Amino acid sequence: MNRSMKLATLLATASFGVLAAASAWSAESLQDVMKRRGLNEKDVLAAAKTYTPTGKRDEFLVFSSGGQSGQVLVYGIPSMRILKYIGVFTPEPWQGYGYDDESKRILDEGSSIDGRKVLFGDTHHPALSETDGDYDGQYLFINDKNFPRVAVIDLRDFETKQIVKNPILKSEHGGTFVSPNTDYIIEAAQYPAPLEDDFVPLEQFNEKYRGAVTYWRFNREKGRIEPENSFSIELPPYSQDLSDFGKGPSDGWSFTNSFCSERYVGGIERGRPPFEAGCSAKDTDFLHVVNWKKAEELFKAGKGKKINGHVVIDLATSVKEGVLFLIPEPKSPHGVDVTPDGKLITVSGKLDSHTTVYSFDKIMAQVKAGKFSGKDEYGVPIIDMASVVHKQVELGLGPLHTQYDAKPCVAYTSLYVDSMLAKWDYCEGKVLDKISIHYNIGHLMAMEGDTVHPKGKYVVALNKLAIDRFNPVGPLHPQNHQLIDASNDKMQLLYDMPLPLGEPHYAVAISADKLKPHIRYPHGTDSRTEEKHPASVRAGSERIERKPGKVEVFGSVIRSHITPEIIEVTEGDEVTVHLTNLERAQDETHGFAVSKHNVNLSLEPGKTASATFKANKAGVYPYYCTEFCSALHLEMEGYLLVQPANYKAAETAKAKEGVAYTQKDYDGRVKANVDTQKVIDSVVGYITSVNYKDFPPVVALVEDATDQLNFAKGAKEKSEDFAKKADWQNAMLWAEQWFQYQVKAADIGLRAKTYLEQHGAKKVQ
């Protein structure tokens, strides 16, 4: 069978496969399967609520913290299928994150501290950008508890664009949360420490150790945090915890919990009880209530002082100007969550069975009247708790975090100790339903459940322990995200999803239709700056530039070759390879790896990325594409030849090729190509006979096939030129390349044809 015949057979089987699958489906009944797999009706119902048929998409996308992995995970609801890991605080090889020069600039800077490299990230709380308190699908932020820093991810390509290091905190937890229009991103301290970097003995804890909240200014047009326009307010050395921004009537205020307001400093080895005893002795801790709009005014008026180059508004100024107030809250609290209407604030104390709902109106009334029950040791006014409580509700043991439902007054709260999730009414203060989870729920996430318009429908329990839920894989267990149907009065557990990464503390879910990511980059984009890459090339302008000690390659990749295919350098040279992916086709990513050199790029369509390395050892190093991109992916290869310093080419004669071709070979190849063209023409004939222009994915495929056919034309002309000169070697090889482009065009054409047949394309006249 010659090659064009094979294509014809492919064409025939493409439509036959659909029929074969349909007949296999009817062999077993639903009852048969339920019996075989031991499923009951409830299981099947749960399956029907989560199962997402092949080719169908999810209603919501989740961005989950990847915990110690320093990454963000993306998965769909209700299918719970993982779609992506986003490299943030750690290298991610597949995406080339931390390997290409462009992302290294971000990660190297963002993970260097005092001359050390931090090679993990204790990521905690992702936050989506908001417009008027609703998710807008533009940006994602996430914090690192251990090395206080915040990252910005652009949701046009799901890539990390910026990491900003906190100049004054030594650990943090209460971030990231955004103000209703994403003007600011909050990052609150956790364990108190001196805000300067000096050593201060623990004996001076009360005097010299401090907490703080940082308000990072976000420039939406640039898509970047502006450190120079950001500020912090100094806080007493209580262990600040989770935070939330006010909204609606409480816009302009922010709320930050604390534990260990006892200011206990531990010391088991000094014969003292451990931190856990000393930090939970009191019945209440403090909710910090901050007028951040006022703090911003003070910052702009130059009322702050600089610590490590960053402006901090000190406690005395905050107290004097009415920026900071404290309210007692029971006991070792964790979550603080403002209601969608911005009127109430829910706080849960881990060691109290109650969840407390505070009224923002009542807080403001006390502030305006100047009615305080006292001051803390740092002069911060304390508001009497009873005077500002809206409700206290007994939900269960170990309440932690609260999210809101689409129905007014309905909230969900995680109960860590009880391993339960409570659905309750925060207006009336009564429990509506409870469900057991497995096990020890930490955060929970309702759909857009921390916005002004929650979507309801589902809740995910982010559990701290999985214990016996999955097949055992050793003492380190997977994490367990449990999907719960929340569309009815009674909640129903639907699905357990194991996550094999670090502890994913928190996650946020957004309606999938709000996300509009790129299919491809504009030609030659540096994805990290989102600008045209200065080293990008168009087809035909690839080149190698040499300076003493330096070699710079301006190359390209497209199915199925890398240009250049031979890179010759001298031992000791610093080599930079810039590669532009010239593809316009969806999903045609190429990779680039060089033997033994830790060079690894991911080149999505349109992207330009670079790798700089030292060619420090003479030798022969193959390079190749790491993504199975086409039938001739394995042939997408080349050689880095590192010549010894004193090397002189001994053999200048033309290298002998493995095979010598004749006119007969050439003529045979051309005949096969002409036959192949007929097959392609028939596919093109079919596509243009139907309403393919109504199907955007097909339009893109047709554009791509047209590209390939144009390349085929170019190769055909070259082969004919050589044939005229009777250079059969080059004529034959270019005729083969002409055929390779035809194969790619045919492959794309088939994809288009199959798509049209499956989507009911109609004949046009």
| Interatomic CA distance for residues 527 and 608, integer angstroms | 8
* Closest separation in Å from C-beta 630 to ligand CUA: 6
In single-letter form, the type of residue at position 50 comes to T
Residue 90 or 589: the one with the smaller Cβ distance to ligand CUA is 589
Cβ 173 to ligand K7E shortest distance, Å: 6
Instruction: Work out which of 461, 629, 640, 735 binds ligand CUA, going by CB under 6 A.
Output: 629
Residue 625's binding partner out of ligand K7E, ligand CUA, none, with CB under 5 to 8 Å set by partner kind = ligand CUA
Residue 676 CB, shortest distance to ligand CUA, in Å, is 22
Instruction: Tell me: does residue 744 bind ligand CUA (CB under 6 A).
Output: no
The residue ranges of DSSP E strands in 132-238, in sequence order, are: 134-144, 149-154, 159-165, 177-178, 184-188, 211-219, 224-225, 231-235
Helix/strand/coil for 23: helix
Residues 482-511 interacting with ligand K7E (rule: CB under 6 A): 505-506
Residue 123 CB, shortest distance to ligand K7E, in Å, is 10
Quick one: what does residue 744 bind among ligand K7E, ligand CUA, none, with the CB cut-off 5 to 8 Å set by partner type?
none
Q: Which of 104, 161, 350, 443 binds ligand K7E (CB under 6 A)?
A: 443
DSSP per-residue codes, 645-701: TT---S--SPPPPSS---HHHHHHHHHHHHHHHHHHHHHHHHHHHBTGGG-HHHHHH
Nearer to ligand K7E, 101 or 122 (CB): 122
576 vs 643: CA distance, rounded Å: 16
The nearest distance, CB 659 to ligand CUA, in angstroms, is: 24
Degrees to nearest 5, angle at CA 401 with 426 and 205? 120
Q: Buried (b) or exposed (e) across 448-484, using 16+ Cβ within 10 A? A: bbbbbebbbbbbbbbbbebeeeeeeeeeebbbbbbbb
- Coil vs helix vs strand at 606: coil
Choose among ligand CUA, ligand K7E, none what residue 753 binds, the Cβ cut-off being 5 to 8 Å by kind: none
Residues 474-503 that bind ligand CUA (CB under 6 A): none
Exactly one of 564, 633, 686, 706 binds ligand CUA (CB under 6 A); which one?
Answer: 633
To ligand CUA, the closest distance from the beta carbon of 740 in angstroms equals: 13
From the CB of 702, what's the least distance to ligand K7E, in Å?
49
Q: Give the x-and-dash track for 400-439 against ligand K7E (CB under 6 A).
A: xx--------------------------------------
The 229-248 site mask, x for binding ligand K7E (CB under 6 A), equals -------------x------
Q: Of 49 and 633, which has the nearer Cβ to ligand CUA?
A: 633
List Cβ neighbours of 50 (8 Å cut-off, separation of 6 or more): 78, 79, 80, 483, 494, 495
Binding of ligand CUA by 514 (CB under 6 A)? no
Query: Residue 164 in contact with residue 226, Cβ under 8 Å?
Result: no
Assess contact for 543 and 530: CB atoms under 8 A.
no
3-state secondary structure of 231: strand
Candidates 80-88, 427-435, 625-633, 644-652: pick the segment binding ligand CUA (CB under 6 A): 625-633
Shortest distance, CB of residue 590 to ligand CUA, whole angstroms?
4
User: 445 is written with which tokens?
Assistant: 């996430």
* CB distance 594 to 614 below 8 Å: no
The partner in contact with residue 578, picked from ligand CUA, ligand K7E, none with C-beta cut-offs of 5 to 8 angstroms by kind, is: none
Q: What is the DSSP letter of 274?
A: P
Question: What residues numbered 543-602 form the site for ligand CUA, per CB under 6 A?
Answer: 590
Partner whose footprint covers residue 506, from ligand K7E, ligand CUA, none (CB < 5 to 8 Å by kind): ligand K7E
Show contacts with ligand K7E in window 165-194 (CB under 6 A): 173
Binding of residue 151 to ligand CUA (CB under 6 A) = no
Nearer to ligand K7E, 400 or 756 (CB): 400
- 560 with 587: CB under 8 angstroms? no
Q: Which does 505 bind (CB under 5 to 8 A by kind): ligand K7E, ligand CUA, none?
A: ligand K7E
End-to-end CA distance of the chain: 36
Burial label, 538 (beta-carbon count in 10 A; 0-12, 13-18, 19+) = exposed
Which is nearer to ligand CUA, 266 or 564 (by Cβ)? 564
Nearer to ligand CUA, 611 or 672 (CB): 611
Rule CB under 6 A: is residue 149 a binding residue for ligand K7E?
no
When asked if residue 399 is in the footprint of ligand K7E (CB under 6 A), the reply is: no
Count of residues that interact with ligand CUA, criterion CB under 6 A: 7
Query: What is the Cα–Cα distance from 110 to 98, expressed in whole angstroms?
Result: 11
* DSSP-derived 3-state class of residue 457: strand
Partner in contact with 442, chosen from ligand K7E, ligand CUA, none, beta carbon below 5 to 8 Å by kind = ligand K7E
- Span interacting with ligand CUA, options 209-217, 627-635, 661-669, 679-687, rule CB under 6 A: 627-635
Among 244, 296, 573, 627, binds ligand CUA (CB under 6 A): 627
- In the complex, least distance from residue 467 CB atom to ligand K7E, rounded to whole angstroms: 17
Q: Which one of 37-45, 317-325, 628-636, 650-658 is the stretch in contact with ligand CUA (CB under 6 A)?
A: 628-636
Report the side by side order of strands in the sheet with 599-603: 566-570, 637-643, 619-624, 590-594, 599-603
Site string for ligand K7E, 315-334 (x = CB under 6 A): -------------------x
**In this structure, are residues 100 and 610 in contact, taking their beta carbons and an 8 Å threshold?**
yes
Helix or strand run (H / E) with residue 734: helix 728-758
Q: Which residue has the tokens 């394309």?
A: 761
By CB under 6 A, tell whether 442 contacts ligand K7E: yes
Q: Is the peptide bond before 504 cis (omega within 30 degrees of 0)?
A: no
> Among residues 625, 687, 735, 752, which is the contact residue for ligand CUA, using CB under 6 A?
625
Nearest-Å Rg of the Cα atoms of the chain is: 31
Residue indicated by tokens 């051309």: 670
Beta bridge partners of 578: 554, 610
Question: CB neighbours of 7 closer than 8 A, spacing ≥ 6?
Answer: 676, 679, 743, 746
Contacted by 633, from ligand K7E, ligand CUA, none: CB < 5 to 8 Å by type = ligand CUA
* Shortest Cβ 78–ligand K7E spacing (Å): 23
Strand ranges of the sheet holding 441-447, from the earlier edge strand across to the other edge: 441-447, 456-463, 479-485, 492-499
Peptide bond into 439 cis (omega under 30): yes
User: How far apart are CB 250 and ligand CUA at their closest, in Å?
Assistant: 53
* Closer residue to ligand CUA, CB minimum distance, 551 or 625: 625
CB neighbour class for 268 (10 Å; exposed up to 12, middle 13-18, buried from 19): exposed
Q: Which does 528 bind (CB under 5 to 8 A by kind): ligand K7E, ligand CUA, none?
A: none
Measured in residues, the chain has a length of 765
Task: Specify whether the CB–CB gap between 210 and 318 falls below 8 A.
Answer: no
Least Å from the CB of residue 536 to ligand CUA:
18
Choose among ligand CUA, ligand K7E, none what residue 149 binds, the Cβ cut-off being 5 to 8 Å by kind: none
Distance of closest approach, residue 197 Cβ to ligand K7E, in angstroms: 25
Site for ligand K7E in 335-394 (CB under 6 A): none
Residue 603 binding partner per list ligand K7E, ligand CUA, none, with a CB distance cut-off of 5 to 8 Å that depends on partner kind: none
H or E stretch covering 306:
strand 305-307
Residues that bind ligand CUA (CB under 6 A): 590, 625, 627-629, 633, 636
Residues that bind ligand K7E (CB under 6 A): 124-125, 173, 242, 334, 400-401, 442-443, 505-506
